[in-house]
Amino acid sequence: MAAPARLSREVPLADLLDSSLAKAVGNWQRWLSDERRCSPHTCDAYARDLDGFLRFLSGHLGGAARLGDLETLKPADFRAWLARLAGSGRKRTSTARALSVVRGFFAWLERNGLAANHAIRALRTPKIPHSVPKALTVGEAAETIDMAGTMAADDWIGLRDIAILTLLYGCGLRIAEALSLTRAEAPAGDVITVTGKGNKQRMVPILPVVRDAIDTYLNACPWRMEPGDPLFVGARGGPLRARIVQRQMQALRALLGLPETATPHALRHSFATHLLAMGGDLRSIQELLGHVSLSTTQRYTEVDAGRLLDEYRATHPRAR
């Protein structure tokens, strides 16, 4: 391949691609916003990451990039792009996200029969230092949920994953509590009844965005559910197992460069931490979480509330 050339960021991306690739990029962006329901912030961030890769690729190829070119790329070509990112001073977390976005774009191309290249699978996600608090930041939580929808082989499974992670973060549920919900218990109003440890029930307010995510998943799910059937089902229609959700979070950690503490339970932790940072009453949060002892809830006070307040703005991000 030709030696990479530095291209002006002023050149419109469409001028650096052939028409078929430019069309594919536009369709992918619409898929993110319309079908995956990523937030505008996430869509813009992903578009910038893909833009950077395709600009590099055009320079790397010495001309307008085509869909067919994507199928011929080798691991060394992708590594050259990662080296460019590293040389530009980007943080490892930012580089890890860019790689996850490009991986997601290639997966989308393959699912739609446009192009296939497995070389990108050979790349390792940059290692990220694990000096990150157990609670995710607001941005990390939102991006984790948005990215979850882009990883599934089937669209309805992606919507299911968005729904369950939105439920964990938006309502502070334990994974076992979420998976124990039945079809009849799907939220229809402003609260949801949750059965926690010791079969103790509690009422948890449910945000409209959580209810909408669950409704969208149910409308797309191909499996018929009776009222007593599990609300969340696996690919074959059986009960969704916690291990599947845990593996999903494991994959998201790798893609987004998050620490090993970014588990399904971390979304529950983040729910409580972010509410507390906004001045939420500790006793009320205790009730929402279903903690028997207030001392358990007090663990969530071990955060930098000032930092979280700056990020949190005015409301819970999933309520926007």
Choosing from 55, 174, 253, 274, which is the catalytic residue? 174
Task: Check: CB of residue 162 under 8 Å from CB of residue 318.
Answer: no
Q: Which 3 state secondary structure label does DSSP give 204? A: strand
**How far apart are the C-alpha atoms of 5 and 59, rounded to whole Å?**
5
Handedness of CA 176, 178, 179, 182 (dihedral sign): positive
**How far apart are the C-alpha atoms of 60 and 64, rounded to whole Å?**
10
268 classed as catalytic? yes
Choosing from 46, 169, 300, 312, which is the catalytic residue? 300
291 classed as catalytic? yes
Q: Which of 74, 102, 82, 106 is nearest to 1 (CA)?
A: 74
Choosing from 92, 111, 183, 265, which is the catalytic residue? 265
The single residue listed with the structure tokens 């969530």 is 300
Which stretches of 39-154 are DSSP H helices? 40-61, 67-72, 75-87, 92-111, 138-148
Vertex 207, ends 214 and 28: CA angle to 5°? 50
Task: Check: CB of residue 13 under 8 Å from CB of residue 54.
Answer: yes
Residue 15 has phi, psi (to 5 degrees) of -75, -10
Choosing from 97, 103, 160, 268, which is the catalytic residue? 268
Strands (E), 97-200: 191-195
Strand partners, 191: 205
Query: What would the two tokens of residue 77 be?
Result: 């070509």
Q: Which 3 state secondary structure label does DSSP give 73? A: coil
169 classed as catalytic? no
Q: Which 3 state secondary structure label does DSSP give 277? A: helix
Question: Residue 197 has what DSSP assignment?
Answer: G
Choosing from 48, 118, 130, 197, which is the catalytic residue? 197
174 classed as catalytic? yes
Choosing from 103, 291, 316, 318, which is the catalytic residue? 291
Q: Could you give the residue numbers annotated as active site?
A: 174, 197, 265, 268, 291, 300
